[in-house]
Amino acid sequence: MTTNPKKLAKQPEHPLDDLIRTERIPHIWCPGCGIGTAFSSCLSAIKATGIPYNQFTMVSGIGCSARGAGYIKLDSFHTTHGRAIPFATGIKMANPKLKVIVFSGDGDLFAIGGNHFIHAARRNMDLTVICVNNLTYGMTGGQCAATTPNKAKSTTTPLGNPDAPFNLPLLAYAAGASYVARWTILQTRDLTTAINEAIVHKGFSFIEVLSPCPVNYGRRNKEKPLDTLKLYQDRTIIKNGADPARADIDFEKGVVIGKFIHIDRSTCDDRYTELHRPCSDD
Amino acid sequence: MAFWRVPLDAQEIQVIRGMVCIIDDRCKGCGYCIEFCPKDILHFSDKFNRKGYHPPVATKPDECVNCHYCEIICPEFAIYSVEIPAETVQK
């Protein structure tokens, strides 16, 4: 029983409770996992666009981050492994008015679904792809992924990863994405603004979100979740408009974050309508 | 201290006041809100929630300026702040 007269009689609801399936909360993500922050940032961005909720669809593949589609109280689609972008492409082609958001992880989008990603970017499909990059395969137990940094330890590389990781913004840019940004979960306000811009942007938008995985990446690399966030605070360089080729992830020399690319290019839907539906009214 | 001057309109500026609301049973005790609160008003509480974690507690609730940072960094949708209307704030 409270004696504080300033305290309201009934606690107000969380501002995002209208967008999440509250009966499924608390979610499955581990304590200290950044996916929840990226997800809530995405929800805030959806809210901030002011577009009616029935014009959004969230599509996700398989993995920790992909569970997001099950927690959002919008039309959402949890698809097969790596195939989130093909499903999203289908949704977008069938109903071009929808705003389709792909919320998935690095393993799903770049290892298993790498080809789908580059071809959707090449065709400039009007999708918003949010990739939560936790540098490992979190759900299956911390195996070495396509994004695991060089020398980082994982279940399958106990002595350190000998290979170089993917530079995701460069890959997206080279494949033809028209909006490319990278933020960490610590720069939450910038991340929300970026997702908001990406939703409004017409064309293939790609946002990489660096996020800690304390259980399967941090534990093997001696990083507590707060250490990872300190790393994001101290070793990141915000440089909007930077060359994506310089944005490789190496915390020793600093990770470049920011909005890299924001250009206008005709989308797949525009070109398809022009070429194949010459008589259509709309 | 000597290097700081008081702004001329310091008397007129209304500092926004907020109230931190915590949904204890959603918290998983990651400590992000506690670490990154700019006013440093949150601390781990001694009590346990239903899942066995220590949720945060606002030890200096009157100092909240409603910046919403705890709300946006929380991965669990467990903490948020609401603005207290200026007329109800007691000096």
Domain count, chain B: 1
Chain B residues in contact with A6 (beta carbon < 8 A): 19, 84, 88, 90
Upper half-sphere CA count for residue B64 (Cβ side, 13 Å)? 26
Secondary structure letter of residue A13 according to DSSP = P
| Residue B4 falls inside a structural domain | no
Instruction: State the ipTM, two decimals.
Output: 0.88
pLDDT (mean) for A91-118: 94
What one-letter code names the amino acid at A33?
Answer: C
Name the residue among B71, B77, B88 with its Cβ closest to that of A25. B77
Question: How far, rounded to the nearest angstrom, does the alpha carbon of residue B53 sit from its chain's CA centroid?
Answer: 19
User: Residue A248: pLDDT above 80?
Assistant: yes
| Residue B18 domain flag | no
Q: Which residues of A199-232 are buried (b: 16+ CB within 10 A; e: fewer)?
A: bbbebbbbbbbbbbbbbbbbebbebebbebbebb
Q: CATH number of the domain that B28 lies in?
A: 3.30.70
Residues of chain A in contact with residue B51, where contact means CB-CB under 8 angstroms, are 26
| Confidence band for B47, pLDDT divided at 50, 70 and 90 | very high
Determine contact: A12 vs chain B, CB below 8 A: yes
Is B16 a member of any domain?
no
Binned at pLDDT 50, 70 and 90, residue A1 comes out as very low
The first and second tokens of residue B34, run together, are: 């506690």
Residue B36 belongs to a domain: yes
Specify if B5 maps to a domain: no
In a domain, B13, yes or no: no
Tokens, residue A133: 């990059």
Residues of B in contact with A29 (CB under 8 A): 75
pLDDT at A97 over 50: yes
Tokens 């903490």 found at: B79
Q: What is the pTM of this model?
A: 0.92
CB contact at 8 A, A178 and A201: yes
Domain ranges of chain A: 27-276
Residue B58 lies in a domain: yes
| In this structure, CATH architecture of domain A27-276 | 3-Layer(aba) Sandwich (3.40)
Domain that holds residue B52: 24-86
